Structure 1
C-alpha cells in the first residue's frame, strides 16, 4: 500500500493501556503497512459518535466493554453507508472468536502480537460484513441479554436509542416506532424480533404494541363500543394510552402487579 495513503484506524477499547499497546504495534509495522490512528474510544457509543464525523478504514475493537460492547458496535456499523473493516481484539479464546473466524471477520487475542496484527490489517479490506443474526446471538451470550441501543437513521445521520429509555414499541406498516419520554424514533425493525430479543423487559399488549414493564402505570377498560381495544394501558411519564387486546389483558395486568 502506498505511503501517501495510510490506513485510517479507530481504536476501541475500554483499557487505555491496550490502546497504547496497539499504537506502538502499529508504529512498529508502519514501514510494511502505513497507518494513521485517527481516533480512540472507550466503548461502542463513543466509537459511533466519532464515526459520525470521521470516516475510517479499519476499526480495532475489543469485545467486552461497558456501555456498548464490540459485538453490538459492529451490528450498528452494518447500518452505516460505508462501514469500515473490523478486527476484533479479545482476551477470551472461546466460541465467539471461533464464530467470527468462520464468518471472515478477523480477531486478535491479547496480548496482540506484531506479526498477527500485520496479517489482520492486510486482509481487513477484503473482509465481508458479519452476519447480523449471528452477531445478535453471540452478543446475547456475551452480555447475557439483548442490545443496549437501537439504531435510527434520521436526516442522513445514525442515531442511537438506549433500550432502557424506551417506553414502548408500536408497529405501523413496515416500520416500528420507539417512544421515549422525550420523543419518537422510527426504526427499521420487526416487532416480533424485538419481542424475542427483549422478552425480559417488554411484554405484548396488542398485535402492534410492546410496552416496557416498568413503564406501566395502570389500566382502564375500553368503552363497550370501542373497536380498537379491549382496554387501555396508562404509562409513566407520558399521556399516551396504549391499546390492550382481550387476549393480552390478563397477562398485562399481571405484569403490573409483579
Structure 2
C-alpha cells in the first residue's frame, strides 16, 4: 500500500491534533507536516509536494481559497479536502475543485469516505502516468513490431470504476445535497439542466447530457432517449411496442420510452 503524503493546514492547534488522531487509523496516510496559516501552507506545498492536503478555509489573512489560487500555474496542485466549521463555504469549495469537503467536528465515517475518494483519485492518476510511460518506452524502441504496437494501442481501455462519480452533489441556495448515484432511477434533460430522479424526489443540476454521461458508469447507466439516461438496475419490466420502440418500467412504476435509435440497450435485458 503506497503512502499518501499528507499535509494538514489549520490555524487551530486543537483542530490539527484532532484530525491527526483520526487519520491514524488510515495506514496509508503519512502526515509529512502541519501549517498554522495560509502563507506557511503555500511554502510547504511547493517544497514538500504532498499528494493530499487537508485545508482549513477560514484562516486569518490568507484563507484556504487564497492558498489554492496562489498555486495555480506554479505547481501541480495536490488533492485538496477543505475542512471548515461553516457549511456556508460548501459551494465555493467545490467551485475551487476540491476533491471533498468536511465539516468540523470531522466525523470518522465521513472522513473515511473522503479518504476512499483520495485513494480512487490517486489510483486513476497512477494509471494515466503508467500508460504514458509505456507509450514513451515504445516510441524509444528502434524497431518495435508493428503488430505488437497495433495490438497495444488499439486495445480498448477498461477504465477503473474510480473514474465514475459515486455521488452527485446538488447545489441549491448555498447548500449541497449529496446523492448516492446507485439510488438514482433515471435522469432527463431540461435544456441545460438535468432532472435527477431519486425515489419520489427530483433534484435539479445544471449540466449537459454529454457531461453527465461521462460521469456515470455505462455498465449501470445507459441512454435510452436523446434526453434520458436510466439506471439499468432499476428496470423491472420491458414492454415492446409495435413501431419498434419499447417501454421500460422502473421501480416505483415510472415508465420510460426507449427510442429506436437506442434499441440496442434492450439487449442488456434479453
Normalised to the residue count of structure 2, the TM-score between the two structures is 0.47
Q: Which one has a larger percent helix, Structure 1 or Structure 2?
A: 2
- The structure whose RCO (Cα within 8 Å, separation 6+) is larger is 1
